[in-house]
Structures are given as C-alpha cells and as structure tokens.
C-alpha cells in the first residue's frame, strides 16, 4: 500500500504542475459539484420538479451508496495526500480518503440521472461530470488516484445493481402495502445504525425519505408538470421547509456530546427526509403549486384491461 500511495502522491504533484490561483479556484468550484450540498439540492429538484418516480429511485440509491462510502472510509482508514505531503494540500477534509465520496457520488448520481436527458447527452454527462469532479479532487491534493478508482468501482457497482434489479424491485415495492415498505425501511436504517453508530444522519434521512415515499401515492399524489413559476415556487417552498426543520430541530435537540445525541440526530434527519418525500408534496397540493394525479375510475380500468 505504501508503494501505491507514493505513486499516487507523484500523480498529485504532477497534476499540480499546472497550478495557478485561477485554476485552483476553478477546481474548488468544480469540486462543489460532488459535495453533499449539491446533491441535497439536486435530488429534491428532480423529485419535486422533473420526474417523481425517477427522483425516488435516484434518491434511495444515492443514500445507500453514500452510507457505504462513509462506512468503507472508516473501515479502510486511509490517509489523504496532504497528510503525507502538506505542500500538496490545496484543500482539506475531515474524513479518510478511500474510497472517494465525490467520485462515487458523481458516478451514482449522473449515471442514474442519465435517462432524464436526451440521448446522447445523458451518457455524455454521466461520463464528463465524474471525470471532471474526480480530477479536481486529485488536483486539490485531497485524494490519491486509488481513492478515485475505488469510488468509481463502487459507483459503477451501485449503477449495475440498479440496472439489473431496479425495475424488478420498483414493481415489487409498488405492489407492497405502505406499512410493509416502512417496516422494510426501518430494518435497513437499523442495519445502518448497527454498522455505524457514530453518524446517524444518513440512516435517519434514508428512513424518513423511504417512509415518506411509501405514503405519497395515498396522501400526496402530485404531478411534476406545471409552469416554470410553479416549479420555481415548489423548489423554494420545499427548501424553506427543509431549512426550517433542519435548523429548528437542531436548536432544540441535544447538542453533540450530550446524552441521546445520536438518537435525536437520527430523528432530525428522519424528519428532514420525510418533509422532502411527503411533507413538501402535500404542501404543494394545498398551495396549488402542483396538480393531483387522478385515480383511474373502475370503469376506465376495466376498459383498459379488456383492451
């Protein structure tokens, strides 16, 4: 491993031979496209304003991928380039390096979002964005090439699972009772917490979102269609509600280091996930920012079945 890290450090130094203040600023901006903040904006936007079903699928896949990334980082406990050579540190991170979360997240997000774009643009974006974001991480000295390769491999693995089993799983879940879906989400969240109790945020948002998605068809069956103004207002109202929940609960729940902090952190992020999945769409319908999906009448259903 030491030999691989030394080789990777040489690659980082080579990438920085073209360094300049302007390029470094550009690389930091490009790197933002692989952060959790970008995905926290992009995922709700797709779900609320572009394609509800695809938004559900991308969100759950991405959250599962992000959890495994953090778990593997702690498992491998590999250093970052600037920890071996401080001179290459053009940025800093608080976690371990392998696998790269930016690389893995970009592959999963853009790969699973590709069907939303016209061909061949979906494929082009699914290739260019992960490559560009990954290069920015090497340039900034926060990842070795091996970190990037690990993130790509894991990202492609999640995409393969979605490609081969996603449609089948989606049909199965469509037929399941909402309470059964919630029970399944609870078991998955419990498994996440069992694997890593130090950070219960991802397990919380996964449970809240999955539970919310389960009840949307019955309680808030919204359509993505609408004017540009409606979609903009949806996005702004949804984000405002998310900020209110996140900041409000953070202010009243126990702070880090207090008893039951992990539990209340889980609850805070579960509430956030439930708002995005169910609460915001319910509000959209009440404010007439989205239209309701009309249930098929028995007569229409029987006619379609005869056809």
DSSP state of 116: G
**Helices 52-76 and 201-219: crossing angle, nearest 10°?**
170
Query: What would the mean pLDDT of 51-73 be, rounded to a whole number?
Result: 95
- Does 307 reside within a domain? no
Q: Looking at the structure, do residues 97 and 1 belong to the same domain, yes or no? A: yes
Q: Compute the distance between CA of residue 139 and CA of residue 233 in angstroms, rounded to an integer.
A: 38
pLDDT at 17 over 90: yes
Does residue 151 belong to any structural domain of this protein? yes
Compute the average pLDDT of residues 135-163. Answer: 96
Q: What is the rounded average pLDDT for all residues in the chain? A: 92
Boundary (domain end) residue, out of 119, 147, 172: 172
Q: Which of 190, 283, 284, 167 has its CA nearest to residue 231?
A: 284
Structure tokens, 110 = 């853009």
pLDDT tops 50 at residue 44: yes
What pLDDT, on a 0 to 100 scale, did the predictor assign at position 301? 40
Residues 197, 119 share a domain: no
> Over 60: is that where the pLDDT of 306 sits?
no
Q: Are residues 120 and 215 in the same domain?
A: no
Determine the pLDDT at residue 295: 66
Question: What's the number of domains the chain is made of?
Answer: 2
For 45-61, b/e burial (b = at least 16 CB within 10 A) is bbbbbeebebbbbbbbb
Q: Which two tokens stand for residue 33?
A: 């496209």
- In this prediction, residue 208 carries a pLDDT of 97
pLDDT at 304 over 50: no
Q: Does a structural domain hold residue 303?
A: no
| DSSP 8-state assignment for residue 223 | -
- Distance CA(113)–CA(43), nearest Å, equals 10
Instruction: Kindly state whether residues 240 and 108 are assigned to the same domain.
Output: no
What does the pLDDT look like over 64-100, one tens digit per residue? 999 999 999 999 999 999 999 999 999 999 889 999 9
The pLDDT of residue 296 is 53
If asked whether residues 166 and 180 sit together in one domain, one would say: no
Does residue 216 form part of some domain?
yes
The strand pairing partners of 222, in sequence order, are: 292
- Which pair of tokens denotes residue 75? 């498992």
Structural domain containing residue 148: 1-172
Same structural domain, 27 and 40: yes
pLDDT tens for each residue of 142-154: 999 999 999 999 9
Cβ-contact 51, 58 below 8 angstroms: no
Would you say residue 304 lies in a domain?
no
Residues 151 and 238 in one domain: no
Tell me: do 79 and 209 sit in the same domain: no
**What are the structure tokens assigned to 77, written together?**
């406990």
Do both 140 and 220 map to the same domain?
A: no
The Cα–Cα gap between 186 and 207 comes to 6
Q: How far is CA 231 from CA 47, 50, 128, 132, 242, in A?
A: 11, 9, 27, 29, 16
* Helix spans in 176-227 (H): 178-195, 201-219
Answer yes or no: is pLDDT of 272 > 90.
yes
Taking only the tens place, the pLDDT of each residue in 192-243 is 999 987 889 999 999 999 999 999 999 999 999 999 999 999 999 999 999 9
């Amino acid at each position: 491993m030491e030999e691989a890290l030394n080789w990777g450090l040489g690659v980082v130094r080579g990438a920085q031979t073209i360094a300049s203040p302007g390029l470094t600023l550009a690389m930091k901006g490009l790197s933002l496209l692989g952060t959790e903040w970008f995905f926290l904006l992009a995922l709700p936007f797709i779900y609320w304003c572009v394609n509800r079903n695809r938004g559900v699928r991308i969100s759950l896949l991405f959250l599962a991928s992000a959890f495994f990334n953090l778990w593997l980082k702690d498992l491998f406990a590999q250093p970052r380039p600037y920890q071996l050579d401080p001179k290459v540190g053009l940025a800093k991170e608080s976690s371990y390096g392998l696998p790269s979360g930016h690389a893995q997240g970009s592959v999963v997000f853009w790969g699973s979002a590709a069907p939303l774009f016209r061909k061949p643009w979906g494929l082009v974006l699914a290739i260019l964005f992960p490559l560009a974001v990954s290069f920015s991480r090497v340039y900034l000295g926060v990842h070795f090439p091996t970190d990037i390769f690990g993130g790509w491999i894991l990202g492609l693995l999640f995409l393969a699972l979605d490609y081969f089993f996603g449609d089948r799983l989606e049909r199965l879940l469509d037929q399941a009772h909402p309470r059964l879906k919630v029970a399944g989400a609870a078991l998955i969240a419990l498994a996440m917490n069992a694997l890593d109790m130090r950070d219960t945020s991802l397990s919380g948002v996964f449970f809240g979102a999955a539970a919310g998605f389960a009840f949307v068809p019955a309680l808030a069956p919204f359509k993505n269609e609408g004017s540009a103004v409606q979609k903009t207002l949806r996005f702004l109202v949804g984000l405002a509600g998310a900020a209110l929940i996140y900041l409000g609960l953070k202010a009243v729940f126990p702070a880090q280091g207090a008893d039951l902090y992990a539990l209340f952190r889980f609850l805070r992020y579960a509430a956030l996930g439930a708002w995005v999945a169910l609460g915001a769409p319910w509000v959209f319908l009440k404010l007439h920012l989205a239209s309701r999906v009309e249930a098929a009448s028995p007569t229409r259903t029987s006619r379609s079945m005869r056809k």
